[in-house]
Structure 1
């Protein structure tokens, strides 16, 4: 991941609704959710939700797939992993043992 991509991802997550959407998609897992259901769960108007989902998609944090008339969104865990890797690229100045608490905190416990 380059700096520009990291800035897009961080900007996308720096907005309250988009952060909530991303956390919901991460929680939902590989099955994702239809855009309308995301909007309903978070109490957001669908056209507003659509704009937020496009920002997350453009930032590499969500993937959209069409199922008939429905668009399903899934958290892009590769994009999220790449963002974390970029942020921790030079972690701990060559002392990886210092990074272990951070790595353990973000590891999946499922």
Structure 2
């Protein structure tokens, strides 16, 4: 991931609703959620949510799939993995043991955790 892409992701996450959306979709996993369900779960107006979903998608943190008249949104685990890898790049000046507690704190079920821990073993 390039620095400009990481900055875009961090800018997208620097707003409360967008951070809540991403965390909600991470919890939803592979099922994702429709825009209407996200709006209801977070008590956010549809037009406000639409703008925030677009920002997160442009930042590479979400992707979507059309289902008839509805759009289902998912956390983009590839984008999240790239962001975490960017942060952990050249971890601790060649002493990856220092970074292991950070990696160990990630849920075992998450692809980013597995990918990063393999790269730092």
Q: What is the TM-score normalised by the length of structure 1?
A: 0.96
Cα drift, residue 108 of structure 1: 2.7
Higher RCO (CA-CA < 8 Å; seq separation 6+):
1
The count of aligned residue pairs is 110
Shift of 1:10: 0.6
Where does residue 113 of structure 2 map in the other structure? none
| TM-score of the pair, normalised by structure 2 | 0.88
1:100 paired residue number: 100
1:33-52 superposed Cα distances (whole Å, 9 cap, x missing partner):
00011001100000100000
How far 1:106 sits from its partner (Å)?
Answer: 1.8
Q: How far does the alpha carbon of each residue in 1:51-108 deviate from its partner, in whole angstroms, 9 at most, with x for none?
A: 0000110000000111011010000011001000001102111101111000111243
Unaligned runs of 5+ in 2: 111-121
Specify the alignment match of 2:85 in structure 1: 85
Structure 1 stretches of at least 4 aligned residues deviating more than 2 Å after TM superposition: 107-110
Distance 2:8 2:58 in 1: 8
Calculate the aligned-residue CA RMSD, in Å.
1.1
Point out the more displaced range, 15-24 or 100-109: 100-109
The yes-or-no answer on 1:47 pairing with 2:47 is yes
2:99 partner SS = helix
**Separation in structure 2 between the aligned mates of residue 55 and residue 6 of structure 1, nearest angstrom:** 14
